[in-house]
Structure 1
Amino acid sequence: MQTHRLFEIIYLLLDKGQMTASELANHFEVSVRTIYRDIDRLSISGVPIYTNVGKNGGIALMDGYTLDKSILSDAEQNEILMALQSLKAVEYPDPDGLLTKLGTFFKKNQQSWIEVDFTGWGGSIQDRERSDELKNAILTRHTIHFSYWGGDGKKSERSADPIKLLFKGHNWYLQAYCHTRQDYRVFKLFRIQDLQVLEDTFDPYPAVPFRENAKVVMTPLHFTILKSRAYRVYDEFAGAQVTPLPGGNFDVRTCLPVDNWLVGYLLSFGGDLILHSPEPLRASLREELEKALAHYA
């Protein structure tokens, strides 16, 4: 905590020019005596910091002072560079210059540790362009207009203020304030079409926790996944939900949302999933399979 406070004192003085010991003490919620001890430590470490006495006095840095890397530990330097790399991974506007300068300043040759691609495997150029447009609209706070295909298969026109991109489960989502619904909404990225970034801008929204658009009802499920689909088991279910069976199959007990998506999801395993319960869902699967079979009779 002390190192962080010393660093922030320098940052505050670089930003404000001069502050009193009382102002710094109030900011950090420590005593004035503690602030003066911090000033002594900074001075001993070579930071050109001084105090002016009198009515308009305060604590300040010598003119022309720039931050010395010695104030940051090696681990803190790495954390700063890694944070900048995460911005670069999502193609935040021009972090490369700052990343290169700080890497040189800290004398560190950082290997990139993260890469983010907003498109799925086999994604088209249009998918990437849409993701880039959304990202830029979020950063520049521009309103967007788009066509959206809902889970019921119906198309609607939406205008919204984009707030953030979210990754949940296996999909990317856009959290936005929807002008059409006059409320916060979450849109699946791949259902957004005909995206337009408008000239209208908006003020920052307060932090809003991620929430589903509708109340989700979770249902306990029990099924067996055959060993031919083993590659999906631990990708899609927590280890505590899976019990390996003799012969290589897997017993799975989990809870999933009851909606139109669930039947399609279970059918995506083909004949390699055997649903044991609940019975109403077994009936829905049989009905869907009979409809599919009728197309090939």
Structure 2
Amino acid sequence: MQWHEENLAEDAPQTATAEDGVVRALSLANALLNRPGGLTREQIFDKIELYRERRDERDRLTGAQRQRADAALEKLFTHDKDHLRHCGIDLIEPTADEDYRYRISRSQYGLPDLDLTAAERSALYQAQLQFAQHTIAGLPHAVWAVDPHASEPAPPGAPQVTQASIGSAEEVDHLLEIARIGLRTPITFRYTARGRAQAETRRAVPLGTGARGHWYLLAHDLDRKAQRLYRLDRVSGTISTLPPSSLGEDEAATVEQIARAERYEDLDVAAELDRGVEGFTGHQVLEGALRAHQGEAPRTLPKLTRVTPGRRKDDAAAKTERVINMIALLLARGAVQPSELMEKYSLSPAQLLRDLLSISLVTTDQYPDTLDVQPFPPLNDEEFVTRYLAADEPIVLRSTGGGALDKPVSLTKPGALGLLIALQSLIELGLPEDEHIAAAAESLRTKVLAIVPATLAQTAASMSLGPGAGDRAALKEAQQAIIASHPVDLCYTDISDRRTTRVVDPVQVVHQGPHVYLRAWCRRAQGERFFRLDRITDLRPLPHEQQSEQGAQLRETGSSTPSAPADAAIPVVLRFSPSAAGQSVLFSPVRQQTDKTSGARIISTSFVTEEAVIGTCLRAGGDIEVIRPGGLRQAVAARALELVERSRP
């Protein structure tokens, strides 16, 4: 590691350090890869500084203190080995026949060559472009890892006909937790069902996953002794494996039957999702909205804090996997800008700085400067942002240790899942004329499933990403109009419950979060508009009319996404029930607060009209409640009461 004093100004104290667990694991991999004959445990502790310091400290102790220190050192070593295995690195435990040496075979290190065909390579980049506006964590790295020798794809001549972002980041995180555990293995999690005020513990055996706007888990509920469907944005906390010792005799027998596929053998996940993703009846929805808005709102509000984009907090194993793949990318590409690293790995500035510092400390005794990061980053978070990131100078990583870490070792779990979701979207959400792309995506998906962990492959193979049943007819008509470049006549109900008829030139289908939109040039509004498919009550193609000049120009412009209207002038404070808290992100919150006990969330935001607020709360069935202003809360209650009376059987 080269030290640059000028990178740390006198008035800028050190606020960033490398992460010891990542440094130890990577140094262990580097040491073993550079020594094909292997190393004993004591040789490893000699050559890697962070082990040597712990060992020397242990050796200064005696008696029980020494025993405890030795146990702590062994535990640390075991964790580091496990982290490398988590990355897919086959670290071989020693035996007497091998002189008690640990080994990593360089011939077995890294991802296998998938030998992509031209069609599969095209499908790979089509998948990346389809999610270009909505990056899945790790997807850009996964694309590079699968095809590391390919050049970056050229920008398409026209935007993708389909742009996708399926579910929220929080839902995908929960999906990843399920994928790490696998299907047909009992799990436990906290879940807030619709209409419930508190999260409850669920014990279930996963059977399949899929998306119908939101991500869902199809599972056998052990307490209800029946199949259930769980929406992943209503899961709170982490999803974890259920200990076998906690199962009763009958429950253990049920789990065993499910594991052996003696139950749910012919389960059709897509059909079960279509059947199970249903809301309340109209009357029940209105009654729920009325109950939520009866009575006075709270006189005081909790302190709301400004909303900042959240990022996944990786554990030590995930960090190790990410950094070891980042090393391979830097060594393979020669120079990579910090902004590209942040995009590829979905990193905050603070985490990128810590990753670079961890890389710079990967050493063994014979190569004290094994990996040299240039330019070396400042050790202060603020300076890293204002100087290093602002300059965005390409980072060069020089290896003086033989290039042992120069191959992508894995797709990373988030990246593998993201890639499989993207390929599945090409297969299930593609256009009718793109059957050849779907076939290539299916072929590539099969290859990827063969190189990812079995639990992740099992979960991904069960996925169903089809559009909601209510959207399919309009989606098919819209896709055909886009292909043929002709306008459509549609009837549309906007968020303020205003019904209009208009002619539009559709140019793109956009899957964003739980909704599907038609991006189009609206001839009535004379501008680009996004129309939610579930709000289109009638869509009639106009095959004998030509696409407008403005529509043709919009088709050639870069993709954009639905966003909150700039003229939203009605400020409101809304409360989302615990089961609906995950939906608050769809309403562009400015400030928010989440109740740590119940999981309910309060946000401040703005709407275009008061009617839009009233309609939103009525359709939410009590899951969204107006807190401020009081007059608007009363208006929701009055409208709900009026409609309840009308809808009584």
TM surpasses 0.5: yes
Map of 1:246-261 to 2, 5 A cutoff?
Answer: 250=600, 252-259=602-609, 260-261=611-612
Distance in 2 (CA, whole Å) between partners of 1:222 and 1:80 is: 36
Alignment pair present for 1:8 and 2:162: no
Aligned to 1:215: 567
487, 499, 511: which one aligns with 1:144: 487
Alignment pair present for 1:231 and 2:573: no
RMSD between aligned residues: 4.6
Shift of 1:293: 6.6
Distance in 2 (CA, whole Å) between partners of 1:131 and 1:158 is: 16
The Cα offsets for residues 40-67 of structure 1, whole Å up to 9 and x where unpaired, read as: xxxxxxxxxxxxxxxxxxxxxxxxxxxx
Aligned to 1:98: 440
Distance in 2 (CA, whole Å) between partners of 1:188 and 1:173 is: 4
Cα distance change of structure 1 residues 145 and 29 upon mapping to structure 2, 3 Å threshold? farther
Aligned to 2:425: 86
Structure 2 residues without counterparts, runs of 5 or longer: 1-140, 155-332, 336-406, 452-456, 586-590
Query: Quick check: 1:220–1:255 contact (8 Å CA) kept in 2?
Result: yes
Distance in 2 (CA, whole Å) between partners of 1:220 and 1:253 is: 8
Map of 1:102-121 to 2, 5 A cutoff?
Answer: 102=444, 108=450, 111-112=460-461, 114-119=463-468
Query: Quick check: 1:81–1:99 contact (8 Å CA) kept in 2?
Result: no
Cα distance change of structure 1 residues 114 and 144 upon mapping to structure 2, 3 Å threshold? farther
Identity rate, percent? 15
Query: Quick check: 2:487–2:505 contact (8 Å CA) kept in 1?
Result: yes
TM-score when normalising by structure 1: 0.56
Query: Quick check: 2:504–2:522 contact (8 Å CA) kept in 1?
Result: yes
The Cα offsets for residues 164-193 of structure 1, whole Å up to 9 and x where unpaired, read as: 32425x432211112343321111212331
627, 632, 636: which one aligns with 1:285: 636
142-151 or 75-84, which deviates more: 75-84
The Cα offsets for residues 184-218 of structure 1, whole Å up to 9 and x where unpaired, read as: 11112123313316264646421153345662235
Query: Quick check: 2:565–2:608 contact (8 Å CA) kept in 1?
Result: no
Helix, strand or coil: the match of 2:615?
helix
Alignment pair present for 1:205 and 2:553: no
One-letter code of the match for 2:520? A
Shift of 1:279: 2.1
Cα distance change of structure 1 residues 99 and 185 upon mapping to structure 2, 3 Å threshold? closer
Query: Quick check: 2:423–2:445 contact (8 Å CA) kept in 1?
Result: no
Distance in 2 (CA, whole Å) between partners of 1:80 and 1:244 is: 34
Shift of 1:269: 5.7
Aligned to 2:525: 181
Distance in 1 (CA, whole Å) between partners of 2:506 and 2:148 is: 37
The Cα offsets for residues 112-153 of structure 1, whole Å up to 9 and x where unpaired, read as: 47532322xxx35xx412212323433x25223122224353
Shift of 1:284: 1.9
The Cα offsets for residues 3-27 of structure 1, whole Å up to 9 and x where unpaired, read as: 9884339x99xxxxxxxxxxxxxxx
Distance in 2 (CA, whole Å) between partners of 1:278 and 1:261 is: 14
Distance in 2 (CA, whole Å) between partners of 1:276 and 1:104 is: 50
Distance in 1 (CA, whole Å) between partners of 2:516 and 2:579 is: 22
One-letter code of the match for 1:252? I
591, 594, 597: which one aligns with 1:242: 594
Helix, strand or coil: the match of 1:241?
strand
Structure 1 residues without counterparts, runs of 5 or longer: 13-27, 31-70
Aligned to 1:266: 617
Distance in 1 (CA, whole Å) between partners of 2:419 and 2:578 is: 39
Distance in 1 (CA, whole Å) between partners of 2:578 and 2:464 is: 27
Map of 1:154-165 to 2, 5 A cutoff?
Answer: 154-165=499-510
Distance in 2 (CA, whole Å) between partners of 1:252 and 1:88 is: 38
Map of 1:6-85 to 2, 5 A cutoff?
Answer: 6-8=149-151, 75=411, 83-85=422-424
Helix, strand or coil: the match of 1:264?
helix
TM-score when normalising by structure 2: 0.29
One-letter code of the match for 2:584? F
Helix, strand or coil: the match of 2:639?
helix
Aligned to 1:58: none
Q: Which has the higher contact order (CA 8 A, sep 6+)?
A: 2
Distance in 2 (CA, whole Å) between partners of 1:81 and 1:175 is: 25
Distance in 1 (CA, whole Å) between partners of 2:523 and 2:498 is: 21
Helix, strand or coil: the match of 2:543?
strand
Shift of 1:158: 0.9
How many pairs align?
227
Distance in 2 (CA, whole Å) between partners of 1:189 and 1:284 is: 28
Distance in 2 (CA, whole Å) between partners of 1:271 and 1:80 is: 37
Distance in 2 (CA, whole Å) between partners of 1:101 and 1:296 is: 52
Query: Quick check: 2:503–2:523 contact (8 Å CA) kept in 1?
Result: yes
Distance in 2 (CA, whole Å) between partners of 1:219 and 1:284 is: 15
Higher strand share: 1
Cα distance change of structure 1 residues 272 and 212 upon mapping to structure 2, 3 Å threshold? closer
Cα distance change of structure 1 residues 292 and 80 upon mapping to structure 2, 3 Å threshold? closer
Distance in 2 (CA, whole Å) between partners of 1:261 and 1:116 is: 30
Cα distance change of structure 1 residues 164 and 194 upon mapping to structure 2, 3 Å threshold? closer
